[in-house]
Structure 1
Amino acid sequence: MAIMKWALPILVGGALALGSCEEMLGDQFAGGEGITQTMLVSADSDSANWMSHGRTYSEQRFSPLDQINVGNVGDLGLHWFADLDTARGQEATPLVMDGKLYVTTAWSKVKAFDAATGEPLWDYDPQVPGETAVKACCDTVNRGLAAWGDSLFFGTLDGRLVALDRGTGEVQWETLTVDQSQSYTVTGAPRVINGKVIIGNGGAEFGVRGYVAAYDAESGEEAWRFYTVPEGTENEESPEYLQAAAETWNTQVLVGSDAIGGGGTVWDSMAYDPELDLLYIGVGNGSPWNRAYRSPGVDGTGEGDNLYLSSIVAIRPDTGEYVWHYQTTPGETWDYTATQHIVLADMEIEGEQRQVLMQAPKNGFFYVLDRATGEFISGEPYTGLNWATGIDENGRPIENPETRIDKTGKPALVLPGPLGGHNWHPMAYHPGENLVYIPAFEAGWIYSPQANWKPDTARGFNIGMDMAANDLPPDLGIRRQVEGTIKGMLVAWDPVAQEARWSVEHPGPWNGGLLATGGGLVFQGNQSSTFKAYDAASGSELWSFAAQTGVVAPPISYSVNGEQYVAVLAGWGGAFATSTDGGLIDKDGAVPNISRLLVFKLGGEAALPEMPELAAMPLDPPASRASAQTIAAGGADYARYCAVCHGPAAVGASYLPDLRRSGALGNRATWASIVHDGVLTANGMASFSDSLDKEDVEAVRAYVIHRANEDKALEGAADKVARR
């Protein structure tokens, strides 16, 4: 049977006839009807297009296309590519409709192409102010678009929801969805349900209060807003679900002039069941992470489950009405978000057909829930963990008390760390194999409670932890040994047996999102700058492409005129890439960012340009003359305000400035003009004058000079060894 001419029963004159769904949907697009609710609900029957973030409302990221399959994937070749103008992390899922491909890039830009040829059609730049970058915990990324009618919708990093004409890229309307005086950002893809555009936001690390909201697709007017944590002043007029949440918090810290937002941002995952009419949202971590500060008990330790942090919540998409919730990590204190990819499926469990919801959140357990009621069905570790020993029959974790740093007040090495066992990178589900493919990893972290911590709502992480506790010593051997313990895996997980059927180990963590196909394939990019295809049943590697850059975004598959394509955004970035040097201390092995859209087909013959030479700036700092006290103070401020972009211990990422090598390091006035006065604000380096005075800024410079001299000495020692 021809791949793109598969048959769909169509009612004609009271009888069932067979017609081409591709042709039928093509007629709908050509007739100007645009995307409708019927089309989104029946998207699983449309293999040609990819009309929503996870292809279907169930977010399975499974394409039934099988023209590219286990037998011929070796003939897959690059067909066309497009270089991007944003050399930051690329995390978006493209949409494909009527032979046109639409994609967002870093800095919230949007581009449209002919999906078969790569011809550029239009592009749009929302002109996000550069200073917004310092509000983003995890790079200036964007994860994608939503479609409805003849419009495309996306969120901008600075919190706007924008509607574009799908044909021209012209702005139809834009609505501000956040309070821009606070450190809110929007990086996730919206969803559209029955004409309502639904979008959340990020910023929990900076002290905001999380919510998800719906906006009218025609006008941009807000229809409802669902807050995920209490305000602290709940009364009988507050929604019942928030009154119930307030009973699980010490809400005194949520009110007053020094109030913290509480966190709970809905920054990524959503899924929808049209039959049950339930929208499922994943809720993020607390603000600050340390519950002892966020919800203090009378003895100075943390108290309460702190609903609805780290929870999956089911709500009515038309009204925002609460229906049920399940909390994966009660009283979370480790940045264990439940914002990770949510997948819906139907399957037989213990002889009973169940409507299930599946998630592998940061905390390391794979959950299977009844999606109608929220009932816990099962949960087992999909990666290494030590914060809990299991989950009891009520679905509550059995905690390891030694890792409860909000109660002990003592540092603890906890697995997973704040990057989680699985982060934002989407999973995929293959219904034929009944397997969920997880981009998992192992990376622990030392959670060290910070004494006398105070929130800073102007700048910097508000986590209540000593971030410098995880700085590695300058000894290169120790650094490599520690980095070598961080693992990345592609895990094929059986959700019924709750065990891995197979797994593939990657050289490091932070590997790409996933796509499963009807051709028996699983596609994934990785940190090692390759894009690969695996056998969905066995995990055998069948094909590989040298992408020249790390691939973290999830692929899609679509067809035009009966020919199947696979597309993926390439471009190294995101939380791990900016907060470390890419997992590789040795700069000769650092992962570069070369941002591109790559599109493949069988017999594709395009070739990428030759890989450019990447030469690091010399490590030639001024002499370190500051006192140990000044260096220590500068190190503490660096960890809180600088490390998230420029790397712990000043070991910079491969595509953001490595401050040890900065030309400004040797000039006190130039350094102050950048860090304190904000002369590079337009480039994304905003002023930190609200949090650091000039003496503090100079101490940070002294710390970076100290670190640069330590590492220069290491380079010299390595050179001597090499010359022997």
Structure 2
Amino acid sequence: MVKALVHAPKNGFFYVLDRSNGKLISAEKIAKVTWASGIDMKTGRPIEIPGARYEGAPALIYPSPFGAHSWHAMSYSPRTGLAYLPKVELPALFNDGSIKKDWKSPNLNFDPAVDIGLGGDIPKGTGVSSLLAWDPIKQKKVWEVQADGFWNPGTMVTAGDLVFQGRANGNLYAYDAKTGKALWHMFLGSGISAPPITYSVDGKQYVSILVGFGGAGVSLAGGSAVANYGWAYRAQTRRLFTFALDGKATMPMFEPPFFPKPIAPAEFKVDETKVEQGRALFVSNCVWCHGSGAVSGGAAPDLRASPIPLNLDSLKAVVKEGRLRPRGMPDFPEFTDDQLELLQHFIRSQAAKGAQEANAQPATDKAGAKSTSKVKKSS
């Protein structure tokens, strides 16, 4: 018997290593991977597919920088011999055609030397994810449950053969660890990004989970694919929930999802010649928190719905002079007045598009599901 270490990094492969010496035992794909055909067992290096480095032309590559499995916790059960992880199927279009050949990162801004499309919205329905039960010895899928959206949190498996996982849609689920059968779920009022934990006090077992939407998929990615849930920045109620088999506490009332309405006054005329330059400034400085295409996933205010970018003086006071620094908005004193105007026209352009889409589509109910059953086995 080999004392092993298992790891599923972002690149789409599941690795099994000898933990005593680091020797690679096996590595297989767990998701769609278009940049490599496999792993060289002698060197441990990926076997790259031609075009994986997008030489000369943009390339749509799986997985995206968010990974086939991101930072979300995976779990392992010695009882079932399976690993349980949230799998992501999301591509990104890589393009370095507009990047200067002598590029050097000037500061700590988001500037990866390649365009991965964060200047535009990530549409609803982009990317999928699932809860994957993987056999590390046989390197194959045992079962898989599809999940809504692409940014779902980590897992926990218990000695009672239950797998728990929260969801971006606000539900906490419990599954049979051997079969993947859904046994229970409950709506908790907001998106979930944290994994559950379990512990015991005086012989009684509890399951706890933090509720609140966050992480790179919410702040850096954002876009309509994440904003679709309605977990807006100031509308989220973040809570800690704890469950037990005989819990009797009453669930709190939940606020309905909130969807910021983009402001698009007819008197503001967007200058399209300034939009693309403003897009580059936004990606380098603002996308970290305010989301792809200025569509916030809930980590920061949606700038399309803010009145501040309507007026250059107001935008300057916030962005350059730090008017909202006490509330968490950093200042960018290096911005010139001309750059602020470019940024303004990009934000207003995205707001106009968002307003058109909002007027064309009926509102949908994202309130989520209520509890449908009780756990019938020990956790």
TM-score of the aligned structures, taking structure 2 as reference length = 0.88
Q: Is the 8 A contact 1:584 1:590 kept in 2?
A: no
Cα deviation 1:328-365 (Å, max 9, x = unaligned): xxxxxxxxxxxxxxxxxxxxxxxxx1011110000000
Out of 290, 305, 316, the residue aligned to residue 672 of structure 1 is 316
- Check if 1:604 corresponds to 2:251: no
CA–CA distance in 2 between the matches of 1:577 and 1:513?
A: 15
Return closer, same or farther for 1:696/1:468 CA change in 2, 3 Å cut-off.
farther
User: Aligned partners of 2:346 and 2:16: how far apart in 1?
Assistant: 47
**Counterparts of 1:635 and 1:467 in 2: how far apart (Å)?**
13
Runs of 4+ in 1 over 6 A off after TM superposition: none
Partner of 1:590: 230
* Residue aligned with 1:713, SS: helix
Deviation at 1:618, TM superposition (A): 3.5
Instruction: Confirm or deny: 8 A CA contact 2:52 2:59 kept in the other structure.
Output: yes
Return the offset for 1:421.
0.4
Change (3 A) 1:584 1:674: same
Equivalent of residue 342 in structure 2, options 683, 691, 699: 699
SS at 1:489 equivalent? strand
Corresponding residue of 1:466: 115
Say if 1:470 and 1:386 are closer, same or farther in 2 by CA, change over 3 A. farther
Match of 1:372 in 2: 20
Give the equivalent residue in structure 2 for 1:642.
286
Letter in 2 for 1:382: I
Name the aligned partner's letter for residue 619 of structure 1.
P
> 1:657 is paired with a residue of what secondary structure?
coil
Instruction: Say whether 1:495 aligns with 2:139.
Output: no
Residue matched to 2:63: 416
1:518 aligned residue (151, 154, 159): 159
Q: 1:366–1:380: 8 Å Cα contact kept in structure 2?
A: yes
Q: What is the deviation of 1:377?
A: 0.6
Aligned to 1:568: 209
Cα drift, residue 584 of structure 1: 3.2
Pick from 3, 7, 11: which aligns with 1:363? 11
The alignment partner of 1:354 has SS state of coil
Amino acid at match of 1:635: R
Letter of the structure 2 residue corresponding to residue 465 of structure 1: V
Alpha-carbon distance in structure 2 between the residues aligned to 1:428 and 1:675: 42
- Structure 1's 367 and 400: CA in aligned 2 closer, same or farther, altered over 3 A? same
Larger Rg: 1
1:717 aligns with 2:360: yes
Alignment of 1:663 onto 2:307? yes
Task: Give the Cα–Cα distance (whole angstroms) in 2 for the partners of residues 584 and 456 of structure 1.
Answer: 29
The question of whether the paired residues in 2 share the 8 Å contact of 1:467 and 1:640 is answered with: no
Instruction: Report the Cα offset of residue 614 of structure 1.
Output: 4.0
5+ residue gaps in structure 1? 1-352, 474-478, 720-724
Compute the displacement of 1:447 (Å): 1.1
- Displacement of 1:626: 4.2
Q: Is the contact between residue 10 and residue 68 of structure 2 (CA under 8 Å) also seen in structure 1?
A: yes
- The Cα shift of 1:583 comes to 5.3
Partner in structure 2 of residue 448 of structure 1: 95
2:75 maps to 428
Q: Are the structure 2 counterparts of residues 617 and 591 from structure 1 closer, same or farther at C-alpha, using a change threshold of 3 Å? A: closer
Contact 1:567–1:598 (Cα < 8 Å) also in 2: yes
**Against the structure 1 CA distance between its residues 485 and 632, is the aligned structure 2 distance closer, same or farther, given a 3 Å change threshold?**
closer
Contact 1:635/1:703 (8 A) holds in 2: yes
State which of 613, 637, 642 in structure 1 corresponds to 2:256.
613
1:528 is aligned, of 169, 192, 204, to 169
- Counterpart residue identity of residue 460, structure 1: N
Taking the aligned partners of 1:442 and 1:615, their CA distance within structure 2 comes to 27
Paired with 1:393 and 1:654, the residues of 2 have a C-alpha distance of 42
Match of 2:36 in 1: 388
How far residue 591 of structure 1 moved from its aligned partner, in angstroms, is 3.3
Letter in 2 for 1:391: I
- 1:435 and 1:387 map into 2 onto residues whose CA distance is 27
Whole-angstrom CA distance in 2 between matches of 1:469 and 1:608: 38
2:223–2:291: 8 Å Cα contact kept in structure 1? no
* Post-superposition CA distance 1:679-704 (Å, at most 9, x none): 112222111223x2121011101111
Describe the shift of the 1:548–1:461 C-alpha distance in structure 2 as closer, same or farther (beyond 3 A): same
Deviation by residue 1:100-130 (Cα, 9 ceiling, x = unmatched): xxxxxxxxxxxxxxxxxxxxxxxxxxxxxxx
Equivalent pair of 2:121/2:224 in contact (CA under 8 Å): no
For residue 398 of structure 1, what is the aligned residue in structure 2? 47
Q: 1:380 to 1:615 in 2, by over 3 A?
A: closer
CA deviation vs aligned residue, 1:439-472 (integer Å, no higher than 9, x gap):
1111110111142164444442131012446624
1:21-79 Cα offsets, whole Å, 9 max, x none, are xxxxxxxxxxxxxxxxxxxxxxxxxxxxxxxxxxxxxxxxxxxxxxxxxxxxxxxxxxx
Q: What displacement does 1:510 show?
A: 1.8
Question: Partner of 1:151 in structure 2?
Answer: none
Q: 1:617 to 1:492 in 2, by over 3 A?
A: closer
Which amino acid is the alignment partner of residue 649 of structure 1?
Answer: G
Give secondary structure in 2 for the equivalent of 1:542.
Answer: strand
Tell me if 1:681 matches 2:330: no
The letter for the 1-side match of 2:231 is V
Question: Between Structure 1 and Structure 2, which shows a larger proportion of strand residues?
Answer: 1
Query: For residue 464 of structure 1, what is the amino acid of its counterpart?
Result: A
Distance 1:374 1:655 in 2: 38
User: Kindly tell me: are residues 654 and 469 of structure 1, through their superposed partners in 2, closer, same or farther at Cα, counting changes over 3 Å?
Assistant: closer
Distance 2:37 2:218 in 1: 30
1:643 deviates by 1.5
**Matches of residues 547-558 of structure 1 in structure 2 within 5 Å?**
547-558=188-199
- Specify the code of the residue in structure 2 equivalent to 1:392: D
TM-score between the two structures when normalised by the length of structure 1: 0.47
8 Å contact kept, 2:321–2:331: yes
Task: Work out the CA distance in 2 between the residues paired with 1:455 and 1:654.
Answer: 31
Aligned partner of 1:5 in structure 2 is: none
Using the alignment, how far apart are the partners of 2:225 and 2:250 within structure 1?
28
Partner Cα distance (2:195, 2:75) in 1: 9
The residue identity in structure 1 corresponding to 2:73 is: P
User: Does the 8 Å CA contact 1:576/1:582 hold for their aligned counterparts?
Assistant: no
- 1:439 to 2:93 alignment: no
Note closer, same or farther for the CA distance 1:376–1:470 as it changes in structure 2 (3 Å cut): farther
Aligned in 2, Cα 1:584/1:468: closer, same or farther, shift over 3 Å?
Answer: closer
Report how far residue 485 of structure 1 moved: 4.3
- 2:289 & 2:8 partners in 1: Cα distance? 26
Structure 2 distance, partners of 1:360, 1:514, is: 13
Give the whole-Å Cα distance in 2 for the aligned partners of 1:567 and 1:467.
36
Asked if the contact 1:624–1:706 (Cα under 8 Å) also holds between the matched residues in 2, the reply is no
The equivalent position to 2:272 in structure 1, one of 602, 605, 628, is 628
Deviation at 1:543, TM superposition (A): 1.0
